[in-house]
């Protein structure tokens, strides 16, 4: 027995430094990750920026831990399109902001933008201006997205579908989670990819009841989602175009399965969700959701927890709502949204004068 104890101590002494010095960036390489598009972004541990590249059907992880902390004491950029035009030497109508992500380690704000030619760019918000982040030589790793929808696929109106290969992305519990379209029979797909990357990918097909359409659907991808604890268990809170709000227990999103979500709200048709975040104030948790044609919505997580039903009948009146209650906050035309810190959120808003502005607000609205 004494020999076993001594052996355990000796092994512990030798192995502890080994594991103490390991990092999730150990397998990274330095170079050009060859990003074809920036469709969705999120941060994970150790300041890792995950970029969903639909055109390249890949996820790129970039180490941003060496980036200096930006000066963002008061974030305010009144005309982002003007700044982008000046930086890229292009007209504003040729440029589009695709996504925004905040590094929780230092509150650095990153903006993904795209030129009409298809080329993508990454910017850092610093001292109320934009600085281009070079991507030609970075520390990175990447993995392909299996079974992504074909590059030539189109919807029934002839519009390309490849950009929806990755519609949203998040990191939770050691997994890169992404929604999008696949080539499978049930095209709406949710993937969970372990990080550091391996060859393993967990893929589930999804089905929801869409009250505004009055039918069950499997072809439309989740447009925005986040992970939230509901009744002390991890869930996906997701929203789709026209605008059902659906919850999926993460335990049910198993590889190779077909999972039906529980529709807890219909938030109005002729609308697409853009971003979902979770905020908290005085112990009460809220979901904030930005939309294309609706104001910023606030929903209590407790109301979702107490809603044990599921919408299974049509909402027949145009733009009517059903299910869990929500409040429209006085923020309209919010195009991007992310949590800045425990009390503030940052957003990009199309203002009444037509300018696209970057702003922050705080949880007094909660």
Q: 68-96 pLDDT, tens per residue?
A: 999 988 899 999 999 999 999 999 899 99
The mean pLDDT values, 10 residues at a time, for the chain of 366 residues are 36 39 86 97 97 98 96 92 94 94 98 95 96 96 95 92 96 95 91 91 91 94 97 97 97 91 96 98 97 98 97 94 97 98 97 97 93
Please give the pLDDT value at position 112.
Answer: 98
- Pairing type for strands 297-300 and 188-194 reads unpaired
By CB atoms closer than 10 A (0-12, 13-18, 19+), residue 163 is middle
The full DSSP string for 16-60 is HHHHHT--TTTT-EEE--------EEEE-GGGEEEEEETTTTEEE
Please give the pLDDT value at position 23.
Answer: 83
Please give the pLDDT value at position 22.
Answer: 67
Q: Are 266 and 321 in contact (CB under 8 A)?
A: yes
Element (H, E) at 13: helix 2-20
Q: Is 170 helix (H, G, I), strand (E, B) or coil?
A: strand
Please give the pLDDT value at position 21.
Answer: 53
List Cβ neighbours of 181 (8 Å cut-off, separation of 6 or more): 148, 149, 153, 161, 164, 165, 167, 187, 188, 189, 221
Please give the pLDDT value at position 74.
Answer: 83
Please give the pLDDT value at position 201.
Answer: 81
Please give the pLDDT value at position 58.
Answer: 97
- Pairing type for strands 202-210 and 120-126 reads unpaired
Question: Dihedrals φ, ψ of 14, to 5°?
Answer: -80, -35
CA distances from 75 to 43, 84, 107, 295, 346 (A): 20, 17, 11, 21, 8
């Amino acid at each position: 027995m004494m020999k076993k104890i001594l052996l355990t101590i000796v092994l512990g002494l030798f192995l502890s430094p080994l594991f103490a010095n390991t990092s999730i960036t150990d397998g990274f390489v330095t170079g050009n990750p060859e990003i074809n598009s920036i469709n969705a972004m999120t941060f994970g541990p150790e300041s890792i920026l995950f970029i969903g590249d639909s055109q390249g059907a890949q996820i790129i992880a970039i180490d941003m831990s060496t980036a200096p902390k930006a000066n963002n004491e008061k974030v305010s950029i009144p005309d982002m399109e003007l700044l982008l035009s000046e930086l890229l030497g292009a007209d504003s109508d040729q440029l589009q902001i695709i996504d925004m992500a905040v590094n929780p380690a230092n509150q650095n704000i990153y903006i993904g933008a795209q030129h009409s030619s298809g080329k993508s760019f990454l910017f850092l918000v610093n001292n109320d201006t934009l600085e281009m982040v070079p991507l030609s030589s970075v520390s990175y790793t990447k993995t392909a997205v299996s079974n992504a929808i074909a590059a030539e696929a189109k919807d029934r109106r002839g519009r390309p579908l490849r950009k929806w290969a990755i519609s949203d992305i998040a990191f939770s519990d050691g997994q890169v989670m992404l929604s999008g379209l696949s080539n499978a029979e049930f095209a709406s797909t949710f993937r969970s990819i372990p990080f550091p990357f391996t060859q393993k990918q967990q893929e589930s097909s999804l089905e929801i009841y869409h009250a505004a359409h009055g039918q069950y659907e499997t072809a439309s991808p989740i447009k925005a989602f986040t992970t939230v604890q509901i009744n002390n268990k991890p869930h996906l809170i997701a929203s789709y175009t026209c605008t059902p709000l659906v919850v999926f227990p993460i335990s049910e999103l198993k590889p190779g399965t077909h999972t039906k979500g529980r529709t807890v709200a219909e938030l109005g048709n002729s609308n697409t969700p853009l971003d979902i975040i979770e905020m908290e104030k005085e112990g009460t948790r809220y979901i904030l959701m930005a939309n294309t044609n609706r104001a910023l919505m606030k929903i209590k997580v407790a109301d979702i927890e107490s809603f044990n039903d599921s919408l299974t009948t049509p909402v027949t009146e145009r733009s009517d709502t059903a299910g869990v209650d929500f409040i429209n906050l006085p923020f309209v035309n919010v195009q991007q949204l992310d949590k800045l810190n425990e009390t503030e959120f940052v957003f990009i808003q199309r203002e009444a004068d037509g300018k696209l502005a970057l702003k922050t607000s705080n949880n007094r609205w909660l």
